């Protein structure tokens, strides 16, 4: 379902609201389902196969590290962990990882910034660089012609209006 929505958004340049109207769902539902495509590929497959519920998948979206997403999803599938239990596991794990003095915390920030950069590049169709240091930074969007700049700004405006 998420891949179908993504196709409508990308190929036909529809907004999330337009997709929602066409499929008879709320815009927030379409947005949440599309976010599932940012999960680890193995986790996406587990959702498709019914080993991990949509509720579990939504909880896993709060985990930045792809390997940790996969590890937790496997735990859900094998041990029949409830969504609430998973949320508690994530909260405990994220508190440990979020310690800025730990190498793991730094690694998570880099992975998250890289993931955001890749998502922006995919959405905008051009090179995007994120300069991130100490919870501050800047995003650079590259363009190579006036037409490309117009196209990028049109896509951004459409996204803001979703």
Q: Categorize the per-residue pLDDT at 12 as very low, low, confident or very high, splitting at 50, 70 and 90.
A: confident
Domain definitions of the chain by residue range: 1-38, 40-98, 103-162
Q: What is the pLDDT of residues 29-45, one digit of tens each?
A: 888 888 888 999 999 99
For the whole model, what pTM was predicted? 0.52
Distances in whole angstroms, Cα of residue 130 to Cα of each of 42, 115, 118, 148: 27, 10, 10, 20
55: which 2 tokens? 């509720």
* Sole residue written with tokens 């947005």: 31
Structural Rg of the chain based on CA atoms:
18
As a whole number, the mean pLDDT across the chain is 84
Task: Dump pLDDT digits (tens) for 89-143.
Answer: 888 874 333 333 334 444 447 778 888 988 898 888 899 999 887 778 899 999 9
pLDDT computed for residue 136 by the predictor? 82
Q: What is the pLDDT of residues 121-130, one digit of tens each?
A: 888 889 999 9
């Amino acid at each position: 379902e998420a891949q179908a929505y993504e196709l409508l958004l990308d190929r036909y340049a529809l907004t999330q609201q337009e997709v929602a109207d066409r499929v008879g769902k709320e815009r927030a539902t379409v947005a949440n389902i599309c976010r599932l495509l940012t999960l680890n590929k193995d986790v996406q497959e587990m959702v498709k196969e019914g080993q991990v519920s949509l509720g579990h998948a939504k909880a896993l979206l709060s985990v930045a590290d792809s390997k940790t997403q996969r590890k937790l999803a496997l735990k859900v599938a094998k041990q029949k962990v409830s969504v609430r239990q998973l949320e508690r596991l994530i909260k405990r794990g994220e508190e440990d990882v979020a310690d800025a003095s730990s190498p793991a915390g730094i690694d998570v920030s880099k992975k998250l910034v890289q993931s955001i950069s890749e998502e922006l590049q995919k959405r905008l169709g051009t090179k995007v660089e994120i300069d991130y240091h100490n919870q501050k930074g800047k995003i650079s969007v590259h363009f190579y012609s006036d037409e490309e700049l117009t196209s990028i700004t049109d896509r951004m405006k459409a996204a803001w209006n979703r």
